[in-house]
């Protein structure tokens, strides 16, 4: 039987999907490239915004004729939309099962080890001995889709309960992996050709390893970064995401010291207004953000800093929104992932605050802060004009090869050879644009 997984959302979801693939293939399922040929479809979902959930609900019309054509087709949903229980239709109750009659089962990602049992009931499969020997989520080896850039979880779950966020309810409380297990996964990935290690967790700053060095004065995450840097073959380390209230100085001090620590960090500020941050339950102030950026740029003056911003959060006034714009400008945040606030049922914000910023105001604020980001990004990219930059090629399309520089800037050059994917190429930048650097290959 053939399977197809559609993944939405953050890096953590893509890492989760790599572990789902391992379970399915050990059970004998074979990958197919789309809905049409599949006997099993799994949607790994995001629930950050209502729009993300609506996209899933909209697939119901597509699935109905597929199930009429293939009576063996089973469809399941996992990820952040599934928070209450795992199981098949009739055994568990879930809103998504009521809204989408074409869905056969749901499972929480933390219940991944229940998937074989669910599929046994639906497809009468017998599973595989290898699946039975996998004792928990972290011990399921990923089936890596991109061998040069890998995503490795250091933890799952979250303890922060930001008022707008559904993640702690969807993924549970924070659980950290032993350092030895992470290093083992890193070493295996490096031997297979991985050049860039992306460490993922809802808050990597609170990583708490049961096997960290008790004699070390460094935080556990700093210890982990130092050990990964020493692994042969690892050229770049990135991590997602740090919580500003928990970011430690010893991690900041590794920038410029460890060879693989790239000059880029993702630092989600969410808002530049102290009053909005309090309503968001973020537990830091704008001055804390200023302090972190100052320390980071003292280590690496031209460090690229990306961030997350929510516009139109409950009660956000024009003055509070302007505080966000002013802070983005002051800190020179050169890449923003901007979201218009969307109420999530079950969160603190949905119970305590009214989603009272009109949709047209959210849209206007989204546009205005996007324009500000474009200006900052264009200004930042000018420093690369005439300079040589090293790209890790990710794809070939429309006559260009493109990939990221260490600063997380997209760069491209004319090429059509797919063998370049996963290779380092150096170009001399002659055209720095808002979102991309363009140039010609140099020796």
Instruction: Express each pLDDT in 393-411 by its tens digit.
Output: 999 999 999 999 999 999 9
Q: Where are the beta strands (DSSP E) in 68-131?
A: 74-79, 87-88, 105-106
Residue 141, pLDDT score: 79
pLDDT reported for residue 411 = 97
Q: Which of 45, 161, 52, 51 is nearest to 108 (CA)?
A: 45
Sequential DSSP letters for 55-79 = HHHTTHHHHHHHHHH-TT-EEEEEE
Residue 438 CB contacts under 8 Å (≥ 6 apart), including other chains? 411, 412, 413, 429, 430, 431, 432
Evaluate if residue 275 carries a pLDDT over 70. Answer: yes
Domain edges within the chain: 2-132, 142-382, 385-441
Distant-in-sequence, close-in-space partners of 299: CB < 8 Å, separation ≥ 6: 252, 253, 255, 256
pLDDT at 131 over 70: no
Give per-residue pLDDT as tens, 107-117. 998 889 889 99
Q: Which of 162-171, 325-334, 339-348 has the highest mean pLDDT?
A: 325-334
Which overall architecture, per CATH, does domain 142-382 show?
A: Alpha-Beta Horseshoe (3.80)
Mean pLDDT of the chain: 93
Class level of CATH domain 385-441: mainly beta
DSSP letters of 134-181?
--SGGGS----S-SSEEEEESEES-S---TT--HHHHH-S-EEPPHHH
Query: 2-132 is classed in which CATH architecture?
Result: 3-Layer(aba) Sandwich (3.40)
Q: Which residues pair with 38 in a beta bridge?
A: none
Percent of the chain with pLDDT over 90: 79
pLDDT of 137 reads: 76
Where residue 237 falls (left for φ over 0; alpha for ψ -120 to 50; beta otherwise) is beta
Segment 244-258 mean pLDDT: 97
**Rounded to whole angstroms, how far apart are CA atoms 87 and 104?**
9
Tell me the pLDDT tens digit for each residue of 45-95. 988 777 888 889 999 889 999 999 999 999 999 998 998 889 999 898 888
pTM: 0.87
């Amino acid at each position: 039987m053939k399977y197809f997984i559609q993944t939405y959302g953050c890096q953590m979801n893509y890492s989760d999907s790599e572990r789902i693939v391992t379970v399915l293939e050990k059970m004998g399922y074979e990958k197919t490239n789309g809905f049409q040929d599949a006997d099993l479809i799994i949607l790994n979902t995001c629930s950050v915004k209502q729009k993300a959930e609506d996209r899933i609900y909209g697939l119901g019309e597509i699935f109905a004729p597929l199930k009429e054509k293939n009576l063996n087709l089973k469809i399941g949903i996992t990820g952040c939309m599934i928070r209450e229980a795992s199981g098949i239709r009739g055994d568990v109750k879930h809103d998504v099962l009521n809204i989408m009659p074409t869905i056969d089962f749901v499972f929480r990602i933390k219940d991944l080890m229940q998937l074989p049992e669910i599929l046994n009931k639906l497809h009468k499969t017998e599973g595989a001995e290898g699946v039975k020997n996998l004792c928990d989520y972290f011990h399921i080896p990923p089936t890596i889709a991109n061998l040069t850039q890998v995503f490795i979880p250091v933890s799952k779950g979250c303890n922060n309960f930001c008022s707008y966020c559904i993640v702690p309810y969807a993924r549970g409380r924070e659980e950290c992996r032993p350092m030895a297990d992470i290093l083992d996964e890193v070493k295996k990935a490096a031997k297979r050709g991985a050049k860039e290690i992306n460490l993922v967790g809802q808050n990597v700053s609170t990583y708490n390893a049961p096997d960290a060095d008790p004699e070390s004065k460094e935080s556990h995450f700093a210890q982990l970064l130092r050990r990964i840097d020493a692994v042969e073959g690892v050229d770049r380390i990135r991590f997602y995401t740090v919580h500003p209230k928990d970011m430690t100085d010893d991690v900041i001090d590794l920038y410029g010291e460890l060879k693989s620590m790239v000059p880029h960090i993702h630092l989600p500020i969410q808002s530049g207004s102290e009053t909005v941050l309090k309503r968001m339950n973020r537990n830091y102030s704008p001055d804390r953000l200023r302090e972190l950026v100052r320390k980071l740029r003292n280590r690496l003056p031209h460090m690229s800093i990306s961030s997350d911003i929510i516009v139109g959060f409950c009660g956000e006034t024009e003055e509070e929104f302007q505080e966000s714009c002013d802070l983005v400008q002051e800190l020179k945040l050169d890449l923003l992932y901007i979201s218009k606030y969307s109420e999530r049922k079950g969160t603190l914000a949905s119970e305590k605050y009214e989603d009272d910023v009109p949709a047209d105001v959210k849209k206007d604020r989204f546009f205005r802060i996007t324009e500000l980001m474009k200006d900052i990004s264009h200004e930042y990219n000018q420093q690369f004009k005439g300079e040589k930059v090293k790209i890790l090629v990710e794809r070939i399309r429309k006559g260009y090869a493109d990939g990221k520089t260490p600063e997380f800037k997209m760069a491209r050059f004319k090429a059509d050879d797919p063998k370049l994917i996963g290779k380092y190429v150096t170009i001399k930048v002659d055209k720095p644009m808002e979102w991309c650097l363009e140039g010609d290959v140099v020796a």
